[in-house]
Amino acid sequence: MQQKTMEVVVGSFVLAGILALLFLALQVSGLTPRSADATYTVYANFNDIGGLSERGMVSMAGVTVGRVSAITLDPKTYQARVAMEIREDYRIIPTDSSAIIRTSGLLGEKYVDISIGADQQTMADGDTFYGTQSALNLERLISNFATGQ
């Protein structure tokens, strides 16, 4: 009887450990189920997204306000068109704000940072950022430095 109790306790700890690792893996990868929060979509066009991926973070003043929902190529301008889902409670983005692709840390993941403007009117569902700044491409920068351009 004591042997069976010990096996149940050890099995419970192993199962709890596996569930904890699964939970941490989902949190780190960003594959958590979508929240029920209402969102609205805004767009930005970039010349180079430099490794930005879908489900990437969108932040404003260091606060996560949304996620990148889609990245497509605009066939007319040959620019990357990034769709961002912003949580409804952050419907305060002025229309003259800029979207900038930044890197989290030295070799971290790319995210979109919204630089706040001063306009009184706010962005609505389907609006596009007028001002954008593409990602810094280190390979291109090093190549230009090496060739003297």
What is the three-class DSSP state of 34?
coil
pLDDT top residue among 1 and 59: 59
pLDDT top residue among 6 and 135: 6
Q: How confident is the model at residue 66 (pLDDT cuts 50, 70, 90)?
A: very high
Pairing relationship of beta strands 63-73 and 57-60 according to DSSP bridges: antiparallel
On average, the pLDDT of the chain sits at 85
pLDDT above 70 covers a percentage of the chain that reads: 91
Domain boundaries defined on the chain? 1-33, 39-143
Residue 84 has pLDDT above 90, yes or no: yes
| Whole-model pTM over 0.85 | no
Give residues with Cβ within 8 angstroms of 122, minimum separation 6: 91, 92, 93, 94, 95
For 92-141, write each residue's pLDDT tens digit: 899 999 999 988 876 678 899 999 988 889 988 989 988 888 777 667 77
